[in-house]
Amino acid sequence: MGLYSKFTDKELQTTLSRHTKLSFIAKKELKKEFLSRTINDIEHPSLFDNLVRDIDLEQKEIRDFKYLGNLGLTIRQSGDTVFEIQRSLKGLLVDILAIIVGLIFFIIGIIGLGNISYLFIGEEKLNLFSFFMGILLITIGLSGIKMIINGLSRFIEYLGFEFKVNNATFYFKKPFDIGKKTIEGDVSSLTIEKSDHQIQLMFNDIVIIKINAPNTVNTNTLEWILKHTQKPLNDNILEES
């Protein structure tokens, strides 16, 4: 059942008038619902045209790898079937910044823990404001620990990362997972694995690219990477058919 299948024609028209606030998948579902019905009089035909244009533009941007930067990656292409994906400078800086900010938050948390400890072991009367302020600082410190772990794990995981495709063959480096060796394989062996909380580009049991808590655009970007990687295979199938 579609996202808007229970909407009346009037409700669809109202939703169309604010389509710019919708997510990519919601826009596609709205377009699909309009086309599946016989709505003789669209109140704002120009808005429907804009909806279609927005969807086409976002799909083109995905195919052009515009959103690859959201994953902390960058692509260098030498042709349709020859390209290389690496960790972007922006992604690297974001990881380093997360570690630095996380350390600052962690220090703030240590200060908060010290303040609360002093309240209980000191001779002064317990001050509720100081107590809750200490709790707040400790909470900030805990979030800092999470930032450090996430930033450091991404930094280490993608240190030296390279994913190259040359026609129907791929070459893959990820020192943290597979050591210094380069894995070579056929693009037909690459797959996408999805779960509720992440999506991964896989080679057998090896994770090449992983996205945690993926949104629609990032998911479509990773799926397009796979499709683009397997373009030589698809072209051969078309030639043989």
User: Does the pLDDT of residue 150 top 80, yes or no?
Assistant: yes
| Residue 213 or residue 170, greater confidence | 170
Domain boundaries, the chain: 9-63
pLDDT > 50? residue 236:
no
Residue 142, classified by CB atoms within 10 Å of its CB into exposed (0-12), middle (13-18) or buried (19+), is: middle
Task: Transcribe 200-214 into DSSP letters.
Answer: EEEETTEEEEEEES-
Q: Which uninterrupted H or E stretch holds 73?
A: strand 73-79
Q: What is the rounded average pLDDT of the residues 203-231?
A: 86
pLDDT, position 240:
39
| Residue 239 in this model has a pLDDT that exceeds 50 | no
127-144 confidence digits (pLDDT tens): 778 888 889 999 999 999
For the chain, give the mean pLDDT. 84
What is the per-residue pLDDT for 106?
96
Which position has the higher pLDDT, 6 or 111?
111
Please tell me which of 43-52, 60-69, 138-147, 174-183 the model is most confident about, judged by mean pLDDT.
Answer: 138-147
Question: Is the confidence at residue 41, as pLDDT, over 60?
Answer: no
Please give the average per-residue pLDDT across 155-175, as a whole number. 88
Q: What is the pLDDT of residue 130?
A: 81
For residue 79, the surrounding DSSP H or E stretch is strand 73-79
> Is pLDDT of 119 > 50?
yes
- The residues, any chain, with a CB within 8 Å of residue 152's CB and separated by 6 or more, are 95, 99
Q: Which is more confident, 80 or 18? A: 18
